[in-house]
Amino acid sequence: MNRPIRNLATGCLVLFLALIANATYLQFFKADDLTSLTKHPNNARVSNAAFSAPRGDILVNGRAVAHSKKSDDEFKYLRTYRFGAEYAHVAGFFARGRIGAVEASENSVLTGESPELFVNRVGDILSNKPPAGGNVSLTINAAAQRAAYEGLKKLGNNVRGAVVAIEPSTGKILAMVSSPTFNPNRLATHDFPKANATYLRLLKNDLVPLNNRAIEERLPPGSTFKLVTAAAALSSGKFTPDSLVPGGASLDLPLTSKNLPNENGGSCGASKITLTRALDVSCNVAFGSVGLKLGADALREQAEKFGFNKKSYFTDLDDPLTSQVTSIFPTKVDAPQTAYSAIGQFEVSATPLQMAMVSAAIANNGRVMKPYLVNEILSSDLDVIKGFNPEPLNPDSPQAISAGVASKLTEMMVSVVDNGTGRPARIPGIAVAGKTGTAQSAPKRPPYAWFTSFAPADNARVAVAVLIQDAGVERDQISGGGLAAPIAKAVMEAVLDR
């Protein structure tokens, strides 16, 4: 063989090997990525192929809240959502070119492409059955979800707010509702111009109904943050529930000529009151004073033990548009700002999920559990492929507070519901622990109403946080006890089957 022919043969061999290597890489290592609807939502070929295949069900208490039914058009299957808007921010939506919430985060399971379903796929091939998607079972309690949805709905279709309920001992999310919401069936329709118009209308809506306010909205938690301040105070050993703290009409702020007043402008009952009474009446002066004595570092350390300043510990609803925002306790705080931070103002901000976790940790003897929404991955025949076990949020230091401090704080929260601002959450025959909050936002915006609670107080089965960002009511009608507590009560009653 002469040299030119030998060089040509070598070149062809190299190109042939490169072709084989590239085909192997694409088929075996990048196939899932290239055909992923989540990663390529605008790829028409991927989207059309996805529409032509059945997806697995998303299940709550064994019932499908998202299901693929046969369609008589070219796409063969239509995704349907039996409960419409009620589960929109949890189950999500499956539209041509768009996908959200669990539909997105568990897309590989629902399509059957997940490696965990490999054996099932091989079985389908050998038995000559069409490929089937796996099913996803959620931790949601259907009764609690309905109570949360109906509670927000009663305040009006345009109310901005969210509800989160957690099982304290495990971190299972029992309810998650955001308002305003949307009907995912209108996005899943095969009338694509109509679906696109609906999506654009939702996107341009000033009330941002596509946002999941339970995890995406970070706002001042107001007086519900006093639970964190109280936890830091009791943990310091410098305070007990019976410690006397200032209860006057205002607190002199150091380094400034300004004072910190109470919400109503008056005193909290006396110049000195107990820490328990201060929590009962949500006394700004008392907790501002406690915050100054503890210092910003102690408050920040306590907040971070509950999950503040921690990123991305809840990813079950991550999709191209949605991810959890981080709840914040600021890093640079001077003395006056420390007083405001101690009452959940200044730059302190939290999601409803975070405030539910604070209550859940207190209810769980001080132990903070990592929240999760996906309970089990199931085959198309409903065999369990994978379960998810509870785990602490901080494995190296799972206790946010000691069991003793949690017990004292629980008694103080029960007093808030029995004797203080949390009375609207009382449930006959059940000890309820709770805390109200009314957080200032901006001079031209209404304050935010919060309520967080758990029940039964001595062996909690549910912890709840409710945020009402704007209910369209007059300023004097906005309070955590008036707007948010009744919804929390309904959710707790649903879980307790009352």
Catalytic residue IDs: 223
The β-bridge partners of 78 are 69
CB contact at 8 A, 356 and 214: no
Look at residue 62 and give its three-state secondary structure.
Answer: coil
**Phi, psi dihedrals of residue 69, rounded to the nearest 5°:** -115, 155
Distances (CA, A) of 457 to 169, 234, 362, 413, 485: 13, 19, 10, 9, 16
The amino acid that residue 324 corresponds to is: Q
Amino acid of residue 16: F
Cis status of the peptide bond prior to 456, with omega within 30 of 0: yes
What does the block give as tokens for 406?
């949690």
Closest CA to 161 of 355, 309, 360, 341: 355
Task: Write down how long the chain is.
Answer: 498
Decide if 140 contacts 177 (C-beta within 8 A): no
| Torsion angle of the four alpha carbons 228, 230, 232, 238, in this order, in degrees rounded to the nearest 10 | 170
Nearest-CA neighbor of 369 among 441, 314, 423? Answer: 314
Task: Compute CA distances 84 → 74, 145, 318, whole Å.
Answer: 24, 13, 20
Instruction: Give me the half-sphere count of Cα atoms (radius 13 Å) on the Cβ side of residue 448.
Output: 28
Structure tokens at 161: 């707010």
**Selection from 145, 154, 35 nearest residue 91 by Cα:** 145
Within 38-141, residue ranges assigned H as helices are 44-51, 88-91, 102-105, 107-110, 118-126
| CA gap 151, 316 in Å, rounded | 24
CA distance 424 to 165: 18
For residue 170, give the amino acid letter. T
Closest CA to 168 of 428, 368, 360: 360
